[in-house]
Structure 1
Amino acid sequence: MSDEVDNFSIEHDRSGQQFLLRDGDKQIGEINYLAFGEDGKERILYHTGVNKEYEGRGLAGRLAKAALDDTVAEGLTVVPVCPYVRSYLKRHAEYAGHSTPVRPEHLDVVPEEYREQ
């Protein structure tokens, strides 16, 4: 049993369209997204990042789970442009009915550096 205290938290920054991973007061990761569609019913998750010194602790998975759970709870559909999110979805069947394949029009709105397919 570990005595280590877990100071990690995840905050949804709606105005910045991102989920922020924090270690206490320090931001150590994020998932960026864009609302898409006339009705905004699709959420394009296009980038997941965790600071290098925090890699290998399962924090990207915690961040992905929080972003996906929030998206589903809001009745939105996930568009997994981010390779990490696509990989996470393949391992977690509970989200199977809540995502849609990436289409060219999704990629058109994503910042260029994150458009790899």
Structure 2
Amino acid sequence: MIRGCRAWGRAADARAALAEHRAPAYVGGTKSPRRGPAMSDVEVVRNDAKERYEITVDGDIAGFAEFVFASPGRFIFPHTEIDPAYGGRGLGTTLVGEAMADMARRGDTVIPVCPFVVKYLKEHEVPGLKIEWRPRDVEVAEHAPTDEKHPGDEGVGDWRG
């Protein structure tokens, strides 16, 4: 089960606000056959105004991975979230993969705090990505349920350390 520090349904309007928002700054995308016979257009965009990467499915935001400026060239990734309506399709993995690849292209250092991001980086090589590991976050991630079997919130923990 995917759990997090924020419940997706905390406010009824959160889903509506998230679904209505259209993000700029294309990062990457793919056609995903995971939705059955109809192909879906999946894109990941960087939204600097909201300090997050967003994944869209057919133009609708399905989730996001937040980042926090730590210092020049260093960014903390505290939280990742996928709307339960889009859960179980591997969108969290796609989102984090594209976000990490973009950070590598920019030459930035990632400080993974979200257990989903920590687990992703432990299991996947991202060429050129600089990672600043914090032992506490790695330990938390090792015990956090971060698989994508159930839809929902993929990040847990407190990014402040």
TM-score range, shorter chain: 0.7 to 0.9
Provide the C-alpha distance between the structure 2 equivalents of 1:8 and 1:75, rounded to a whole number of angstroms. Answer: 25
Over residues 17-47 of structure 1, what are the superposed CA-to-partner deviations in whole Å (9 max), with x where a residue is unaligned? 111111223211000001112xx11111111
Preserved contact between residue 107 and residue 129 of structure 2 (Cα < 8 Å): no
Q: Where does residue 81 of structure 1 map in the other structure?
A: 113
Structure 1 vs Structure 2: percent identity of aligned residues?
Answer: 22
Specify whether residues 78 and 22 from structure 1 end up closer, same or farther in structure 2 by C-alpha distance, changes over 3 A only: same
Structure 1: which 5+ residue stretches go unaligned?
A: 105-112
* Letter in structure 2 aligned against 1:75: G
Q: Output the CA distance in 1 between the equivalents of 2:129 and 2:65.
A: 21
TM-score normalised over the length of structure 2: 0.59
After superposition, the Cα gap between the structure-2 partners of 1:49 and 1:26, relative to the gap in structure 1 and judged at 3 Å, is: same
Q: Report if aligned partners of 1:89, 1:95 keep a CA contact under 8 Å in 2.
A: no
Q: CA separation in 2, counterparts of 1:97 and 1:26?
A: 28
Displacement over 4 Å in runs of 4+: none
Q: 1:55 deviation in Å?
A: 1.3
Query: Per the alignment, in what secondary structure is the counterpart of residue 77 of structure 2?
Result: strand
Residue 108 of structure 1 corresponds to: none
Counting matched residue pairs gives 107
2:110 touches 2:129 (CA, 8 Å); kept in 1?
no
Gaps of 5+ in 2: 1-32, 137-155
State the AA in 1 paired with 2:38. Answer: E
TM-score, structure 1 normalization: 0.79
Instruction: Provide the aligned C-alpha RMSD in A.
Output: 2.5
**Inter-partner Cα distance in structure 1 for 2:129 and 2:59:** 35
The 8 Å contact of residues 73 and 108 in structure 2, kept in 1 or not, is answered as: yes
Letter matched to residue 158 of structure 2:
R
Q: Secondary structure at the match of 2:49?
A: coil
Q: Which has the higher contact order (CA 8 A, sep 6+)?
A: 2
Residue-by-residue CA offset, 1:40-77 (whole Å, 9 max, x unaligned): 11111111110112111110000001110111110001
In 2, the alpha carbon distance for the partners of 1:34 and 1:71 equals 13
Residue 71 (structure 1) aligned with residue 103 (structure 2): yes
